[in-house]
Amino acid sequence: MHSPQITHLLSYLNQTVTSAALESPQWPALFHLSQRHGVLLRLYHTLPHSLQCPLQQTAQSLTVYNWQLARTLTHLLSTFHQANILVLPCKGPTLALTLHGDLSRRTYCDLDLLVDGTDAEAAQSLLLAQGYCLRDRTPWGSDFTAPNGQFSIDLHWQIAPPCFSYRLDLAALHQRCRPLPYLGTTLPTLSPEDHFLILCVQIVKDSYFDRLRLSQFCDLADLMPKLAPEQVLTLAGNNLRLVHCALQLTHRFIPLTLPSPLQEDHASYSDPIANRHIDQVAATLFTERDPHQGIFSILQSNPISSIKQACLRVLLLCQHPHRPSWTDLRLLTHVVGYALTPNSRDRTWLSPHFSHWGLSYLARPLRLLHKLIQMLMPRLYPSAHTPPPTPSSAEH
């Protein structure tokens, strides 16, 4: 059972709100939840006009912000085009225009750009030359901060870590792109089917790192009427398990009407491992956690439960729910690479003396071990990490 505030938010989003909830909306709680889950603009437009006033100023500010990001996107696409670098926008303004025809109904806080792996270095150099600052780099993409610090750009040559079976094929995505007129120019826009698959992969990926938001489920539900279901099944290929998992998770919060034959395929699909993972994710979706914990958030539960969750997440990445295959060996490769390959945060954390001594390969395992110990110590020795009581006024 959800709290009344969560129940009210879901009923507004699903347009099943009762008259009692309309008469006494709990604005502070709704405002906080809708902002945290990226659905404030959607909530604003589902409310009757008589109830929009408390959210109006924030909704207008978000809409102006959306327009600014859209103008930035058109400038960046032109810059990349002049440099002969193929870049495709993903989500952000193009998804808002695809789903709603305008930018005022979908919240987004950054720009996602897809680039071929062979152009990754050139694309990063171009962004650096434009004044963007590299914030983080992973094996599948880089994050940049704008010169004014107000937004970020996520540059992807893959959508998810190598342990996920979905692989970007930029040439194929570009071939299926559709032109989208905007501000006197034409934006290359991913087909609804490609956007759908990317959203499904990111929903499962973000469920691993406790970064899921209701906005992702809303996007998936809004895409349904625009899909060619036969093409979805064809393009999904070995990623059908991720698709079904994302659909089941979405349906827990936002009712879905699946087009045939996607409906028949989903109805006949059985995946006990995915079901258990979905139960765990659904139970903690509205729990506020430290976003920097990432995959270590599973350690919030008891050790046995943590081990079970870790095993479920590994098994869910196998391509087939009932039989392993040789292609699943990529999971082992990824686990080893994840534990040993340092990223920018590892290099920053590591003492310069270690790098000087040629021990930079220790950065990743040492930082992960340090992070693990920091999370486990308060649980192993709670009394040592309890802050001292504040003296009462009677003691002064």
Write down the pLDDT at residue 380. 62
Reported confidence tier of residue 1, pLDDT bands at 50, 70, 90? low
Give the tens place of pLDDT for each residue, 222-241: 999 999 999 999 999 889 99
Q: How far apart are CA 385 and CA 262, in angstroms?
A: 51
Reported confidence tier of residue 392, pLDDT bands at 50, 70, 90? very low
Look at residue 120 and tell me whether its pLDDT is greater than 50: yes
CB contact at 8 A, 176 and 168: no
CA distances from 25 to 12, 17, 285, 296, 325 (A): 10, 10, 22, 36, 51
Q: Which of 47-56, 75-84, 340-349 has the highest mean pLDDT?
A: 75-84
Q: State mean pLDDT over 299-305.
A: 58
Supply the DSSP symbol for 155.
Answer: E
* Percentage with pLDDT > 70 across the chain: 74
Domain ranges for the chain, please list them: 66-190
Does the domain made of 66-190 have the CATH classification 3.90.1150.10?
A: no
- What is the residue whose two structure tokens read 């950054």? 110
* Percentage with pLDDT > 90 across the chain: 47
Residue that wins the pLDDT comparison between 19 and 318: 318
Q: How far apart are CA 197 and CA 342, in angstroms?
A: 29
Q: State mean pLDDT over 128-140.
A: 92
Residue that wins the pLDDT comparison between 21 and 126: 126
Write down the pLDDT at residue 4. 79
Mean pLDDT score of the chain: 83
Reported confidence tier of residue 129, pLDDT bands at 50, 70, 90? very high
Look at residue 382 and tell me whether its pLDDT is greater than 80: no
Kindly report which listed range (4-8, 181-185, 196-200, 383-387) carries the lowest average pLDDT score: 383-387
Write down the pLDDT at residue 393. 41
Look at residue 341 and tell me whether its pLDDT is greater than 90: no
Write down the pLDDT at residue 387. 54
Look at residue 291 and tell me whether its pLDDT is greater than 60: no
Supply the DSSP symbol for 176.
Answer: T
Write down the pLDDT at residue 394. 43
Write down the pLDDT at residue 288. 73
Q: State mean pLDDT over 218-223.
A: 96
Q: State mean pLDDT over 291-309.
A: 58
Give the list of residues 6+ apart from residue 117 with CB closer than 8 angstroms, or none.
157, 158
Helices (H), the chain: 4-13, 19-23, 27-36, 40-46, 53-82, 92-100, 120-129, 170-175, 192-208, 214-223, 229-236, 240-251, 262-267, 272-284, 303-316, 329-340, 344-349, 352-356, 363-380
